[in-house]
């Protein structure tokens, strides 16, 4: 007990102690005449007590308020009664506190013992309040609803939006519906009575801009249970510049060039008509002379498509230029195969093929469509990146990295027959995937990465910024500047945090590059309830499990001991000292 | 009493009904209905004396269950019974007033009262009207709703529409009476004439009808604005008027749906598609034809074609046959019957009859016609020789070589027939021309004999010199290779090269057949050869007489030539096929050695990028999202955008007016400066989004963030690869 006493004015200890001893010495000297008598000893003892009482009044001793044995349970939303009951059974003197976000947790309760957190946990921004306590987190069950979801919040127009997620504890008969902006239902899934149900919904992205899709849960009568926003930024397509070189005109190239040119890509086609004579076609672009490849004339192109013969018969300088363009500038190369291509020596092709009998296949994405192919398949090996797999999961088109660029080919043959058979979409799908996968990538000056898809009003929203700009200045819509923290290892990585005030779409931008903006959607806490609750549970678990490992040193609040006792003691002692000589005299 | 009760029960619902609907008839009906049901249930006539007696027994103890005795005649009762009867009588007289007959008048009046109360309450608060309001009322006529385009000045009372009328005059032939309606959506047959008449309570400046980007002013006649138009295409229209204060108002959009007059449908029943008869059969066809049309049939008939002969000598004869019965004009469906006797059609064995039914409807100016499938009838030929093409031949080359002689004969005969009509000059020139044709034909046959194919090289060619002058103007013809039509030109060039070259090198030449030498030709057997030579001679004579302008003399030769050729044809057809050229493989060293000086590289530039036909709609959807989220005001640029989006949507909407009409309407209002509520923007965005087709897959350039670390990683990978 005594070791718990601390003095509130502990910095005065030395002067007070000295003056007390001096005072006592004076007193001893004053009583020196009685030295050796019994009352001398009594007097100096009492004087000593009086002086110490006086010193104590000045020093204000204090004691920790609560004893160790008081435990506290913080009750957060959806805590389980049974858990609280069991706790109370074990710890009889358990005190309970209702948790309210963003308010002091221990208003007038003080403890030095374990704190239990029950339920969905406390908000991350309140973690600091429990910093000095040993916290045990007792989680509640995951809430019913969508607890996890994932989608690309920035997509290119024409792509599909896929939203995948997990619905916890679904109610049978209800439906999850994906609605387009404006509220038109486009995809849905019926919920089953499982403990967890994963779902995947998709939508076509038809328009550029910032939009809000919504995920709606309805029961069989159409009553809406929840409507949660799915904000997405749809950006425009950037066109590629493509060079096609063929040693003789083919139907494959003819249809391919028409397809890409009609979709706005810049296409240059050079095909040999006869020895030394070429046909040059320029679509959506100006005329540029294309002779032998050089790094200079390959510079503007994002993708080069060669037929196998051309690729094989490239001159030494052309080959070097092409390889350099691929390795250093990220150019994509696609080789249109022919029968001989698969029999080239390995060092010429860079791909390994396995011979097989079938000359027809179907794509995994369109299992009913038959496509002609050469009787070969890719051998799956290290570094091979798959573009297409067929219905039986064999690789039919793939690419490999070569420096910054990519080299690709396919075993598909005469894909234009798809067009002739009226399978236009499948044809376009095949080629758009190949071209998108291997085309040169535009290096973005600024790229944003947000930790959360959704921001919540008045809560922190963290983002990272990767940019080569030396000291980026990031400002909000309102013109406030956000302070950034540079990563210690990576000079181009910056971390920032903002507190959005406006609901709906918010934008932060880099002052040095006004085109580099991050649009993020701010909601309030009424949306995605199940997910945010689930996230809180996870976050609490993570935080408090980690916190329990370190030995938390506790600081109990102190209360000064009431000085009245010291006063009385002092008065009694002084009274005795005053009275005693008078009694002795009589 | 019971009757009163019944009437109380019945009166309650009746009064309630009256209060609800204010209709005496219904009230009386309900009164009678409920009354009769209650009467059937209570059955007041059934209260016999026995019932009453037993009732009194139950309710009056003093009667000691003996009331029934009062009903019995005294004589029939025993003495004790009589005493009892007496006792009961006296007691009954005393106590009868204490007992009341059973009835529920109070209950009845309470029910009546509550019905009246409910009725009054409903009447007082007009609950019924509200109830009806909640249901969609389809009775109210669709009035044209005009919205002011200028939202600022609403203080002045806008002119009110007091009359609207749409008259649709169907085309006469349809025999549909003209329709007058106040509903402005038009759905009518193509060619109908539509006229509008709208009248306002105030004087206004002018009214226009806007349709598909054009506007047509309406004329003021008799205080009403009228306009008319003929329906040709589907579309939309709306009215717009300007009042005297120069404020303009727009109406909703109305759809114009044009129904095309359908072609009649013709169905032939009771006959197989292909019928064949033997020669000795009764060659009669009979069938039913069911013709239906949406606005009536004008005419129907059978087109029958008889074909005689086969191959080159086939002849066609077309006849228009009528049905057995008359066609009832204007009837919407009719069943017609027809008998065709093939003998009456002058058909012989081997002849074929093709026929179909054609029907016309009453559409003006150009009727819709429809025809049935074609049906066949054949009289089997008694003799038939079929020609089988050699299996190795890929192409069915029915020889046309021998046709010309017949044609020459026909032409010669025609020339003779026409002789009186022609001038001497023309006659002579035509005769000469025929002579030339005869020569060409002869030369063709001469080739089969192994004669030179080139003109002038033949022995006969020399004889022609006297006529050289006349030949001259036809040099154009002569220079053409007469075989060009019958051979593959590209083959022959190569053939010359190869054959010649081979000949030079070939030491075995003398052991081979020399096709150049007509005498050694083995193309035809000897008899054929002589026959052909004979025919050639005949042709030669025929030509001679034609050249001498005496076609009549040439005819016998021609006939003889024809006869000979016919004979040859039948026996030698197979050889004609076999003359086909079989090219030897091209020598390797000759390949790719052609001159390519003429071939040059060439450039081609094109802009193939396809315009997005729904660009404005896409932009509008994006803009609407902003308007919805940010709740900002619609600017003038937005209005332009929405207008364009409306135009884009209109082209799409024509195919499917019902689906997009409302959207078009909203777009129109937005672009016309009408204040639009938030919900309307959402609805508009929704329907525009739905109207947009999905984009076709297209490749795009991806973005990436390059960082030193990534590059280091790639380098490391490469080094360790």
Beta carbons of A246 and A307 less than 8 angstroms apart: yes
Same-domain status, A311 and A219: no
Same-domain status, B253 and B285: no
CB pairs under 8 A between A and B: 178
* CATH number of the structural domain spanning residue B343: 2.60.40
Give the pLDDT of residue B101. 65
Answer whether B630 sits within 8 Å of A504, measured CB to CB: yes
Predicted confidence band of residue B46 (pLDDT cuts 50, 70, 90): low
As a whole number of angstroms, the distance between CA A333 and CA A293 comes to: 13
Which pair of tokens denotes residue B462? 């020399």
Whether B158 shows a pLDDT value over 80: the answer reads no
Q: Please give the mean pLDDT across all residues of chain A.
A: 85
Least confident interval from A84-88, A382-386, B33-37, B48-52: B48-52
Same-domain status, B237 and B362: no
* Residue B474 placed within a domain: no
* CATH number of the structural domain spanning residue B523: 1.20.120
Name A218's bridge partners.
A175, A224
- Residue B453 vs residue B44, higher pLDDT: B44
Give the pLDDT of residue A69. 61
Stated as kind and residue range, the H or E segment containing A38 is helix A38-59
Looking at the structure of chain A, the number of domains it has is 5
As a whole number, mean pLDDT of residues A144-164 equals 88
Cis previous bond, A336, omega within 30:
no
As a whole number, mean pLDDT of residues B454-461 equals 41
* Residue B591 placed within a domain: no
Name the most confidently modeled range: A60-74, B198-212, B534-548, B599-613. B534-548
* Residue B207 placed within a domain: yes
As a whole number of angstroms, the distance between CA B332 and CA B119 comes to: 55
Give the pLDDT of residue A243. 93
Same-domain status, A266 and A360: yes
Least confident interval from A288-302, B226-240, B486-500, B502-516: B486-500
DSSP class of residue A358? -
Answer whether A283 sits within 8 Å of B683, measured CB to CB: no
Predicted confidence band of residue B295 (pLDDT cuts 50, 70, 90): confident
DSSP class of residue B446? H
Answer whether A207 sits within 8 Å of B683, measured CB to CB: no
As a whole number of angstroms, the distance between CA B165 and CA B156 comes to: 26
Same-domain status, A213 and A275: no
Angle, helices B105-125 vs B127-134, to 10°: value is 60
Question: With an 8 Å Cβ cutoff, is A276 touching chain B?
Answer: yes
Angle A339-A343-A347 from CA coordinates, rounded to 5° = 130
- List b or e across A98-107, with b for residues whose CB sees 16 or more CB atoms inside 10 angstroms: ebeeeeebbe
Predicted confidence band of residue B390 (pLDDT cuts 50, 70, 90): very low
Cβ-Cβ contacts under 8 Å, B685 against chain A: 181-182
* Residue B483 placed within a domain: no
Least confident interval from A194-203, A308-317, B7-16, B507-516: B507-516
* CATH number of the structural domain spanning residue B233: 2.60.40.10
By percentage, how much of chain B surpasses pLDDT 70? Answer: 75
By percentage, how much of chain B surpasses pLDDT 90? Answer: 0
Give the number of other CB atoms < 10 A from CB of residue A417: 16
- The CA distance from B589 to the nearest CA of chain A, in Å, is 16
Predicted confidence band of residue A136 (pLDDT cuts 50, 70, 90): confident
Q: How do strand B703-704 and strand A442-443 relate by DSSP bridges?
A: parallel
Same-domain status, A361 and A328: yes
Predicted confidence band of residue A334 (pLDDT cuts 50, 70, 90): very high
The nearest alpha carbon in chain B to A289 belongs to B603
Same-domain status, B99 and B231: no
Return left, alpha or beta for B577; rule: phi > 0 is left, psi -120 to 50 is alpha, else beta: alpha
- Residue A110 vs residue B371, higher pLDDT: B371
As a whole number, mean pLDDT of residues A107-123 equals 78
Question: With an 8 Å Cβ cutoff, is A209 touching chain B?
Answer: yes
* Residue B318 placed within a domain: yes
Same-domain status, A290 and A386: yes
Same-domain status, A55 and A33: yes
As a whole number of angstroms, the distance between CA B520 and CA B500 comes to: 19
Least confident interval from A323-332, B242-251, B255-264: B242-251
Residue from B599, B623, B687, B700 whose CB has the most chain A CBs within 10 Å, to mutate? B700
- List b or e across B562-599, with b for residues whose CB sees 16 or more CB atoms inside 10 angstroms: bebbebbeeebbebbbeeeeeeeeeeeeeeeeeeeeee
- The yes/no answer to whether this complex scores an ipTM above 0.90 is no
Give the pLDDT of residue A19. 92
- The pLDDT tens digits for B314-358 are 778 888 888 888 877 778 888 888 888 888 878 888 788 888 888
- What is the 3-state secondary structure of A102-163? CCCCCCCCCCCCCEEEEECCCCHHHHHHHCCCCEEEEECCCCCEEEEEECCCEEECCCEEEE
Cβ-Cβ contacts under 8 Å, A264 against chain B: 609-610, 698
- The pLDDT tens digits for B273-283 are 788 888 777 88
- Residue B158 vs residue B111, higher pLDDT: B111
Name A506's bridge partners.
A520
Read off φ and ψ for residue B592, nearest 5 degrees: 55, 30
List the 647-686 stretch of B: residues with Cβ below 8 A of A.
682-686
Give the pLDDT of residue A2. 56
Total number of residues shown for chain A: 586
Same-domain status, B397 and B543: yes
As a whole number of angstroms, the distance between CA A234 and CA A519 comes to: 11
Same-domain status, A336 and A433: yes
Same-domain status, B16 and B154: no
Read off φ and ψ for residue A191, nearest 5 degrees: -85, 140
**Of the residues B129, B160, B183, the one at which a domain ends:** B129
Same-domain status, A261 and A132: no
- The CA distance from B691 to the nearest CA of chain A, in Å, is 11
Whether B56 shows a pLDDT value over 50: the answer reads yes
As a whole number of angstroms, the distance between CA B353 and CA B376 comes to: 6
- Residue A548 vs residue A161, higher pLDDT: A161
Cβ-Cβ contacts under 8 Å, B699 against chain A: 240, 260, 263, 265, 431-436, 439
Question: With an 8 Å Cβ cutoff, is B157 touching chain A?
Answer: no
Same-domain status, A322 and A191: no
As a whole number of angstroms, the distance between CA A495 and CA A322 comes to: 39
As a whole number, mean pLDDT of residues A307-324 equals 88
Give the pLDDT of residue A572. 92
- Residue B480 vs residue B65, higher pLDDT: B65
Give the pLDDT of residue B455. 45
Which pair of tokens denotes residue A185? 């239902």
- Residue B556 vs residue A39, higher pLDDT: B556
- The pLDDT tens digits for B296-312 are 888 888 888 888 876 66
Give the pLDDT of residue B450. 67
- Residue A545 vs residue A153, higher pLDDT: A153
Same-domain status, A270 and A355: yes
Same-domain status, B145 and B207: yes
Give the pLDDT of residue B522. 52
Give the pLDDT of residue B504. 44
Same-domain status, B567 and B620: no
By percentage, how much of chain A surpasses pLDDT 70? Answer: 94
Same-domain status, A359 and A270: yes
All residues at 6 or more sequence positions from B646 whose CB lies less than 8 Å from its CB, including other chains: B664, B667, B668, B671
Give the pLDDT of residue B300. 86
Stated as kind and residue range, the H or E segment containing B22 is none
Residue from B618, B699, B717 whose CB has the most chain A CBs within 10 Å, to mutate? B699
A186 by DSSP, 3-state: which? strand
As a whole number, mean pLDDT of residues B81-86 equals 80
Longest CA pairwise span in chain B (Å): 166
Range of the domain at A219: 145-236
Same-domain status, B124 and B154: no
In this structure, which long-range contacts are made by residues A126-131, counting pairs with CB atoms below 8 Å and at least 24 apart in sequence? A126/A99, A126/A101, A126/A102, A127/A543, A129/A104, A129/A105, A130/A105, A130/A544, A130/A547
- Which among A510, A500, A521, A522 is positioned nearest to A447, based on CA atoms? A510
As a whole number, mean pLDDT of residues A552-581 equals 80
As a whole number, mean pLDDT of residues B149-168 equals 70
Same-domain status, B106 and B150: no
DSSP class of residue B522? -
* CATH number of the structural domain spanning residue A457: 2.60.40.10
What's the start-to-end Cα distance of chain A, in Å? Answer: 44
- Residue A557 vs residue A464, higher pLDDT: A464
In this complex, the residue of A157, A273, A443 whose CB is nearest that of residue B599 is: A273
Same-domain status, B17 and B117: yes
Answer whether B601 sits within 8 Å of A181, measured CB to CB: no
Question: With an 8 Å Cβ cutoff, is B601 touching chain A?
Answer: yes
Q: Please give the mean pLDDT across all residues of chain B.
A: 74
Q: How do strand A303-307 and strand A384-389 relate by DSSP bridges?
A: unpaired
**Of the residues B129, B158, B174, the one at which a domain ends:** B129
* Residue B119 placed within a domain: yes
Give the pLDDT of residue A105. 81
**Of the residues A504, A523, A542, the one at which a domain ends:** A523
Range of the domain at B171: 139-259
Cβ-Cβ contacts under 8 Å, A210 against chain B: 625
* CATH number of the structural domain spanning residue A315: 3.40.50.880
Angle, helices A251-262 vs A424-438, to 10°: value is 80
As a whole number, mean pLDDT of residues B232-259 equals 78
Handedness of CA B667, B670, B674, B675 (dihedral sign): positive
Same-domain status, A420 and A340: yes
Whether A446 shows a pLDDT value over 90: the answer reads no
- The pLDDT tens digits for A155-172 are 888 888 899 999 988 888
Same-domain status, B100 and B184: no
B545 by DSSP, 3-state: which? helix
As a whole number, mean pLDDT of residues A40-67 equals 82
Answer whether A279 sits within 8 Å of B625, measured CB to CB: no
In this complex, the residue of B599, B689, B702 whose CB is nearest that of residue A184 is: B689
Predicted confidence band of residue B492 (pLDDT cuts 50, 70, 90): very low
As a whole number of angstroms, the distance between CA A233 and CA A520 comes to: 9
Which pair of tokens denotes residue A373? 């192919």
Question: With an 8 Å Cβ cutoff, is A428 touching chain B?
Answer: yes
Answer whether B599 sits within 8 Å of A158, measured CB to CB: no
Looking at the structure of chain B, the number of domains it has is 5
Same-domain status, B372 and B403: no
Whether A481 shows a pLDDT value over 50: the answer reads yes
Give the pLDDT of residue B47. 63
Q: Report CA-CA distances (Å) from A83 to A75, A138, A526.
A: 11, 8, 27
As a whole number of angstroms, the distance between CA B537 and CA B544 comes to: 11
Q: Report CA-CA distances (Å) from B651 to A353, B197, B656, B671.
A: 51, 28, 9, 17
List the 314-373 stretch of A: residues with Cβ below 8 A of B.
none
* Residue B499 placed within a domain: no
**Of the residues B238, B259, B280, the one at which a domain ends:** B259
Predicted confidence band of residue B401 (pLDDT cuts 50, 70, 90): very low
């Amino acid at each position: 007990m005594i070791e718990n006493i601390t003095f509130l004015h502990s910095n005065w200890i030395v002067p007070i102690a000295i003056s007390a001893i001096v005072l006592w010495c004076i007193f001893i000297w004053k009583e020196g005449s009685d030295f050796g008598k019994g009352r001398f000893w009594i007097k100096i003892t009492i004087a000593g007590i009086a002086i110490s009482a006086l010193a104590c009044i000045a020093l204000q001793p204090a004691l920790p308020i609560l004893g160790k044995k008081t435990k506290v349970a913080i009750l957060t939303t959806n805590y389980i009664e049974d858990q609280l009951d069991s706790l109370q059974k074990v710890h009889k003197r358990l005190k309970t506190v209702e948790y309210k976000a963003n308010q002091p947790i221990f208003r007038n309760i003080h403890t030095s013992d374990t704190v239990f957190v029950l339920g969905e946990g406390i908000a991350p921004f309140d973690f600091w309040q429990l910093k000095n306590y040993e916290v045990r987190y007792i989680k509640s069950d995951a809430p019913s609803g969508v607890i996890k979801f994932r989608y690309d919040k920035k997509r290119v127009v024409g792509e599909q939006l896929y939203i995948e997620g997990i619905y916890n504890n679904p109610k049978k008969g209800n439906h999850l519906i994906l609605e387009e902006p404006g509220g038109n239902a486009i995809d849905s899934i019926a919920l089953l009575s499982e403990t967890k149900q994963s779902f995947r919904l998709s939508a076509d992205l038809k328009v550029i801009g910032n939009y809000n899709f919504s995920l709606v849960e309805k029961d069989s009568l159409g009553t809406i249970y929840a409507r949660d926003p799915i904000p997405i930024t749809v950006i425009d397509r950037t066109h590629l510049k493509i060079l096609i070189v063929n040693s003789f005109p083919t139907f494959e190239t003819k249809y391919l060039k028409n397809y890409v040119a009609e979709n706005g890509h810049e296409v240059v086609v050079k095909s040999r008509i006869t020895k030394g004579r070429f046909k040059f076609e320029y679509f959506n672009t100006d005329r540029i002379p294309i002779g032998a490849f050089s790094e200079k004339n390959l510079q503007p192109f994002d993708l080069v498509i060669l037929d196998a013969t051309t690729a094989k018969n490239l001159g030494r300088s052309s080959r070097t230029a092409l390889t350099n363009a691929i390795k250093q500038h990220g150019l994509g190369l696609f080789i249109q195969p022919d029968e001989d291509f698969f029999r080239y020596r390995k060092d010429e092709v860079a791909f390994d093929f396995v011979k097989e009998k079938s000359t027809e296949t179907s794509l995994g994405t369109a299992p009913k469509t038959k496509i002609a192919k050469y009787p070969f398949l890719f051998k799956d090996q290290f570094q091979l990146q798959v573009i297409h797999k067929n219905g039986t999961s064999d690789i039919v088109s793939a690419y490999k990295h070569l420096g910054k660029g990519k080299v690709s080919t396919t075993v598909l043959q005469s894909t234009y027959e798809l067009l002739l058979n009226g399978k236009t979409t499948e044809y376009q799908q095949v080629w758009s995937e190949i071209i998108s996968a291997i085309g040169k990538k535009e290096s973005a000056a600024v790229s944003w990465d947000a930790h959360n898809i959704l921001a919540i009003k008045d809560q922190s929203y963290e983002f990272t910024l990767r940019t080569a700009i030396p000291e980026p200045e990031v400002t909000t819509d309102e013109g406030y500047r956000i302070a950034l923290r540079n990563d210690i290892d990576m000079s181009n990585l910056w971390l920032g945090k903002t507190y959005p005030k406006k609901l709906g779409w918010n934008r932060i931008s880099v002052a040095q590059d006004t085109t580099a903006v991050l649009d993020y959607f701010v909601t309030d806490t009424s949306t995605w309830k199940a997910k945010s609750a689930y996230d809180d549970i996870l976050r609490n678990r993570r935080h408090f499990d980690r916190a329990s490992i370190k030995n938390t040193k506790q600081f109990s609040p102190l209360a000064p001991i009431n000085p009245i006792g010291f006063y009385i003691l002092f008065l009694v002692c002084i009274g005795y000292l005053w009275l005693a000589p008078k009694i002795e005299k009589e | 009493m019971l009757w009163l009760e019944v009437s109380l029960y019945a009166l309650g619902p009746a009064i309630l009904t009256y209060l609800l609907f204010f209709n005496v008839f219904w009230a009386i009906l309900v009164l009678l209905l409920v009354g009769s049901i209650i009467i059937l249930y209570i059955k007041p006539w059934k209260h016999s004396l026995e019932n009453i007696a037993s009732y009194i027994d139950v309710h009056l103890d003093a009667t000691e269950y003996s009331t029934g005795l009062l009903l019995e005649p005294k004589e029939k009762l025993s003495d004790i019974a009589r005493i009892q009867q007496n006792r009961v009588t006296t007691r009954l007289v005393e106590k009868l007033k204490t007992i009341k007959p059973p009835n529920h008048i109070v209950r009845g009046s309470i029910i009546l009262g509550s019905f009246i109360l409910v009725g009054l309450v409903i009447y007082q608060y007009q609950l019924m009207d509200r109830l009806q309001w909640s249901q969609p009322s389809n009775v109210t006529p669709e009035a044209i709703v005009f919205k002011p385009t200028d939202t600022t000045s609403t203080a002045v009372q806008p002119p009110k529409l007091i009359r609207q009328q749409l008259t649709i005059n169907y085309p006469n032939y349809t025999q549909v009476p003209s329709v007058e309606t106040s509903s402005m959506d038009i759905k009518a047959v193509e060619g109908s004439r539509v006229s509008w008449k709208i009248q306002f309570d105030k004087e206004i400046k002018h009214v226009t009808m806007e349709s598909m980007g054009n506007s047509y002013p309406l004329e003021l006649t008799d205080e009403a604005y009228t306009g008319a138009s003929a329906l040709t295409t589907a579309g939309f229209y709306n009215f717009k008027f300007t009042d005297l204060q120069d404020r303009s108002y727009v109406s909703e959009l109305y759809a114009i749906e044009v129904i095309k007059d359908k072609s009649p449908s013709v169905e032939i029943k009771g006959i197989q598609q292909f019928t064949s008869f033997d020669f000795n059969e009764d060659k009669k066809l009979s069938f039913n034809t069911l013709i239906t049309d949406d606005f009536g049939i004008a005419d129907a008939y059978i087109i029958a074609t008889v074909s005689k002969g086969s191959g080159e000598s086939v002849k066609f004869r077309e006849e228009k046959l009528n049905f057995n019965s008359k066609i009832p004009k204007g009837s919407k469906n009719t069943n017609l019957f027809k008998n065709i006797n093939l003998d009456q059609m002058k058909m012989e064995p081997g002849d074929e009859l093709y026929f179909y039914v054609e029907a016309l409807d009453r559409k003006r100016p150009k009727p819709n016609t429809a025809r049935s499938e074609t049906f066949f009838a054949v009289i089997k030929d008694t003799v038939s020789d079929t020609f089988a093409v050699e299996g190795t031949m890929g192409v069915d080359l029915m020889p046309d070589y021998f046709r010309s002689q017949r044609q020459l004969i026909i032409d010669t005969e025609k020339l003779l027939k026409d002789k009186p009509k022609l001038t001497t000059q023309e006659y002579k020139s035509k005769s000469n021309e025929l002579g030339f044709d005869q020569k060409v034909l002869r030369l063709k046959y001469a080739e089969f004999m192994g004669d030179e194919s080139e003109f002038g090289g033949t022995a006969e060619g020399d004889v022609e010199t006297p006529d050289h002058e006349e030949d001259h103007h036809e040099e154009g013809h002569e220079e053409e290779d007469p075989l060009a039509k019958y051979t593959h030109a590209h083959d022959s060039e190569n053939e010359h090269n190869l054959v010649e070259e081979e000949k030079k090198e070939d030491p075995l030449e003398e052991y081979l057949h020399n096709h150049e030498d007509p005498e050694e030709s083995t193309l035809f057997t000897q008899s054929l050869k002589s026959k052909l030579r004979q025919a050639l001679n005949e042709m030669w004579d025929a030509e001679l007489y034609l050249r001498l302008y005496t076609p009549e003399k040439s005819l016998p030769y021609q006939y003889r030539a024809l006869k000979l050729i016919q004979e040859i044809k039948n026996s030698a057809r197979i050889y004609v096929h076999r003359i086909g050229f079989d090219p030897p493989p091209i020598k390797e060293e000759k390949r790719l050695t052609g001159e390519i000086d003429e071939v040059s590289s060439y450039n081609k530039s094109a802009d193939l990028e396809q315009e997005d036909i729904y660009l404005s709609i896409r932009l509008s959807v994006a803009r609407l999202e902003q308007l919805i989220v940010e709740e900002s005001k619609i600017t003038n640029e937005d209005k332009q955008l929405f207008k364009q989006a409306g135009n884009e949507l209109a082209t799409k909407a024509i195919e499917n007016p019902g689906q997009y009409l409302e959207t078009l309407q909203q777009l129109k209002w937005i672009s016309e400066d009408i204040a639009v509520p938030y919900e309307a923007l959402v609805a508009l965005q929704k329907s525009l989004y739905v109207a947009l087709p999905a984009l076709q897959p297209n490749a795009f350039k991806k973005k990436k963030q390059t960082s030193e670390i990534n590059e280091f990683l790639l380098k490391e990978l490469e080094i360790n690869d």
